[in-house]
């Protein structure tokens, strides 16, 4: 019903989660908090050949605005890694994303 969504992202956010994050963020429906996502913006088909596996990339995934997700990932709107980095997660403070999101929700809701 038009309410804002807060999405927590990190370097472990990949594939379909990146697609949903990009779509909601670019449409102004969500605020992203955390660090840059993994950048798995491709579709691959797996072929078993003898004892080996061949992965063929058969398409790349773009955000609604046309940004390539593959190898780029999604940049958060609010970066909260080490020293507010967008790329380096603060492994010593795993609840940091959640605390930032809670404060953001309080600010949005008043």
| Catalytic residue status for 40 | yes
Q: Specify whether the CB–CB gap between 80 and 90 falls below 8 A.
A: yes
Given the residues 1, 4, 10, 15, select the one marked as catalytic: 15
Given the residues 40, 63, 89, 96, select the one marked as catalytic: 40
| Catalytic residue status for 25 | no
Q: Which of the residues are catalytic? A: 15, 40
């Amino acid at each position: 019903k038009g309410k804002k969504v807060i999405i927590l992202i990190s370097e472990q956010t990949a594939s379909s989660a990146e697609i949903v994050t990009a779509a909601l963020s670019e449409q102004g429906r969500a605020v992203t908090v955390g660090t840059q996502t993994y950048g798995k913006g491709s579709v691959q088909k797996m072929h078993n050949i003898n004892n080996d596996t061949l992965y063929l990339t058969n398409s790349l995934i773009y955000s609604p605005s046309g940004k390539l997700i593959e190898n780029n990932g999604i940049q958060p709107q609010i970066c909260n890694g080490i020293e507010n980095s967008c790329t380096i997660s603060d492994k010593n403070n795993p609840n940091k994303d959640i605390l930032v999101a809670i404060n953001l929700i309080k600010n949005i809701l008043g």
